[in-house]
Amino acid sequence: MTPAATSSKTDAVLADAVALARAELEPVAEPGTVGAHLGVEMLGERLAMHWFECRSPGYRGWRWGVSVARVSRSRTATVCETNLLPGPDAVLAPEWVPYADRLAPGDIGAGDVLPYQPDDPNLEPGFEATGDEDVDQMAFWELGLGRPRVLSAEGREVAATRWYDGEPGPTAEVAQKAPAQCSTCGYFLPMAGALRAVFGVCANEWSPSDGRVVSLDHGCGAHSEADVTPQKPTPVPDPVLDELAVDIEVHASGAADAPSDGGPSTGSGPS
């Protein structure tokens, strides 16, 4: 981060220390990576920063900074520190995002499973009623349903077959690798009418089928009751060369001594 400039007057001694600042970068920077002098910036009273162009590959827009200072009544500048700092047009890495926040709706694919959330605020126990709005009823009825034409039984059959044989059905890749079916998911909203026994709508924003028609035997890794199985760490095999064991050599006198050279014993005693 570039320090903020102050209203201090330009110090002539520090401003003339360009050669001193450049020489201080020679043991720090790779040869040929220190470019032209970009200027001097006063950071405070008797404290300044000299800026140099950085020509290192991959550091476009970065600048070398050398801070110099002097004590009161002195005419000699002293180097404080050297830095490589990003300029206004520098190419920087994206802002850090914690691993827990990196997953976003739409990232779930075939074979992916979300961890179980016991306190999901969008779900409640299934033995509780969610309101009269979930009860299929005909509050208002009019002849023809208010439209000149409606879907026939054949039209419903064609649509149901197309949905069931396509991505919303059980043969989709994401459904084949799903840990459970939509019929047991808390985010499954059954459809009203003749197709209720086969289809519903997904209401899970993490699911690739969010807001779409899915069959009861469809599924995905965002199932409300699914969970991720913890993976055990890969066992580490024993080392081929055991440098931790100590070999004991038993002499005829009964005294036990370790080998003087630290190497494996050549005696007939147990090791």
Average pLDDT of span 37-41: 92
Q: Residues 200, 242: one domain?
A: no
pLDDT of residue 136: 56
Q: Is residue 4 part of a domain?
A: no
Task: Round to whole Å and give the CA distance between 105 and 197.
Answer: 28
Q: Residues 223, 117: one domain?
A: yes
Give 230 or 190, the one with higher predicted confidence: 190
Q: Residues 209, 110: one domain?
A: yes
61: left (phi over 0), alpha (psi -120 to 50) or beta: left
**pLDDT tens per residue across span 150-160:** 788 898 899 99
Contacts of 154 (CB under 8 A, 6+ apart): none
Range(s) of the domain holding residue 197: 105-126+139-229
- For residue 210, what is the DSSP state? B
Q: Residues 27, 116: one domain?
A: no
Q: Residues 118, 216: one domain?
A: yes
Q: Residues 224, 143: one domain?
A: yes
pLDDT of residue 270: 47
Q: Is the pLDDT of residue 1 over 90?
A: no
Q: Residues 154, 74: one domain?
A: no
Q: Is residue 92 part of a domain?
A: no
Q: Is residue 221 part of a domain?
A: yes
Q: Residues 44, 78: one domain?
A: yes
Q: Which of 90-99, 100-109, 119-128, 162-171 has the lowest mean pLDDT?
A: 119-128
Q: Residues 199, 242: one domain?
A: no
User: Concatenated DSSP letters for 106-121?
Assistant: T---TT--PPP-TT-T
Look at the chain and report how many structural domains it folds into: 3
Element spanning 195, H or E: none
Q: Is the pLDDT of residue 176 over 90?
A: yes
Q: Is residue 215 part of a domain?
A: yes
Q: Is the pLDDT of residue 266 over 60?
A: no
Q: Which of 16-25, 85-94, 249-258 has the lowest mean pLDDT?
A: 249-258
Q: Which of 269, 227, 224 minimizes the C-alpha distance to 249?
A: 269
Q: Residues 225, 244: one domain?
A: no
Q: Residues 82, 118: one domain?
A: no
pTM, rounded to two decimals = 0.50
Other residues' Cβ atoms within 10 Å of the Cβ of residue 124: 11
Q: Is residue 94 part of a domain?
A: no
Average pLDDT of span 189-208: 91
- Split at pLDDT 50, 70, 90, the class of 2 is very low
Other residues' Cβ atoms within 10 Å of the Cβ of residue 41: 20
Q: What is the rounded average pLDDT for all residues in the chain?
A: 82
Q: Do 179 and 173 meet the contact criterion of CB atoms below 8 Å apart?
A: no
Q: Is residue 185 part of a domain?
A: yes
Q: Residues 208, 258: one domain?
A: no
Q: Is residue 2 part of a domain?
A: no
Task: Round to whole Å and give the CA distance between 110 and 209.
Answer: 12
